[in-house]
Chain A
């Protein structure tokens, strides 16, 4: 074979390799940044972080977003307090919820969830069909009353803030408007998911009524629900 032919002829191999790299980078960066985002939020949900420091706007990372409904914080995972968060893992609940995270439900192909290590916590496996709310996992060390005080003092900066949430079906941008330190309105400002955002149209209203990102799961649209949740989380971060 003519050596020149061989060089020219490996076009498909070169094209294939380039395509593989492009696709991996596209998905990888999204999952990586999602993982970092989730890791940050995860650290924040840890009760040890929540202190009763008064009105510390810069440290409002201490705003334990997951504990919005203070009474829910110490509930067992099966409780169905509205507005709380479910974090199901296959390890015992005393496993650290730090950036390393724990794996999602093993081996069941249909239940396999997130693309990243940390997101395994953030997007729990398919919720039981009738459970449209989230419950908090072991935050048992938290003092609910201290958290309630923390929440009451939580103040946002006035203005409109946006944030992005990712999912394997596409990204969602949420927009929240803060007036007089409180969430006045919320909306889905960009819906880039493959599936319609009409499935989660009730969620922006919940952000306002609950004054937090703690919206329900929508059965059948859990990925979009999560993306919206994280979008609101990011937006609210900017508002502190």
Chain B
């Protein structure tokens, strides 16, 4: 059994844990893994600076103030938006990054750490969608054709996890847990594939089941994590088609080689619900599990094979 280096930080509005297994034989190795984790943490900061809706000085916020203008942006923001728009198209608008104003209206406007309310002051003209965002690949510009606020929550967190995972890849065996969105590399401290529990959507002390994985991301969208401070019935995942909280699922989990893909698709699948959601995942060669309000579980065939339905297990990742 190897020793692990574990570091926890408050990032992107959630608690993120970085674990590197082994690579601690001497001072030099221990230093290397600490520094690797530092670099991983720094990616979270960088992505927040560019993609956060909660910082009026972020690149994203500044983009929102320029309507009808082709704004040159960094590769980071461009790729995040491009990917979000692609998921919007593939989900026929069920997932849509232009829901930022809807989210502000639901009270999801508070910066996690400071508690400051950040609203970007953009006029809600209604009826905006991902089709109102235009990307120019050659010039690397983004044009918001109408006033809107982009919310890159799902995509940005997944992207940060992917960047962090690349930094830690050199250590082979590691885990990143960003508030329940995970990337698992190599094996755990017992030399086994990582064991990932899927949280029961209605009982935080219970697990629905477990997966044993290596070299993949596992991301879950649930209606239980953040609820609207304004409207009791609402939570933070907006169905862009209705403008209201999505109600077809209570949780959706996706497994993919990229956390950005898993995170965004988990959100899309959540909105789409068990039938369309599973179809979307299958169409893209991904595995996943969707739980309905009645607590029925729907899985892709691959997930059915790998996922061991529970029994009660404790703990998130081991």
Contacts and interface: CB of A to CB of B under 8 A. Distances in A.
| A interacts with B | yes
A15 interface: yes
Contacts of A5: 283
A51 to B, nearest CB: 30
B41 interface: yes
A13 B11 contact: no
Given A17-B258, A23-B163, A115-B46, A195 B57 contact: yes
Contacts of A106: 34
A27 B43 contact: yes
Interface in A103-132: 103-104, 106-107, 109, 112-117, 120
- What is the predominant secondary structure among interface residues of chain B facing chain A? helix
Given A13-B261, A112-B41, A116-B39, A24 B163 contact: yes
A13 B282 contact: no
Interface residues of A, number: 37
Nearest to A8: B283
Nearest to A10: B285
A168 B284 contact: no
Contacts of A1: 282-283
B290 interface: no
Interface string A7-51: 001111101110110111011000100000000000000000000
Given A114-B42, A115-B43, A168-B46, A10 B284 contact: yes
A17 B79 CA distance: 11
A117 B167 CA distance: 12
Contacts, number: 115
30 contacts: A1-B282, A9-B282, A11-B86, A12-B87, A13-B256, A13-B258, A15-B82, A15-B83, A17-B257, A19-B79, A19-B80, A19-B159, A19-B260, A20-B162, A20-B163, A20-B260, A22-B75, A23-B76, A23-B79, A23-B159, A26-B74, A26-B75, A103-B31, A103-B35, A107-B7, A109-B10, A112-B42, A114-B38, A194-B59, A194-B62
Interface of B: 7-11, 31, 34-35, 38-39, 41-43, 45-46, 49, 57-59, 62, 74-76, 79-80, 82-83, 86-87, 90, 159, 162-163, 166, 256-258, 260-261, 264-265, 282-286
Lowest 7 A-B CB distances belong to which pairs?
A109-B9, A19-B79, A9-B283, A16-B261, A26-B75, A115-B42, A20-B162
Interface of A: 1, 5-6, 9-13, 15-17, 19-20, 22-24, 26-27, 31, 100, 102-104, 106-107, 109, 112-117, 120, 168-169, 194-195
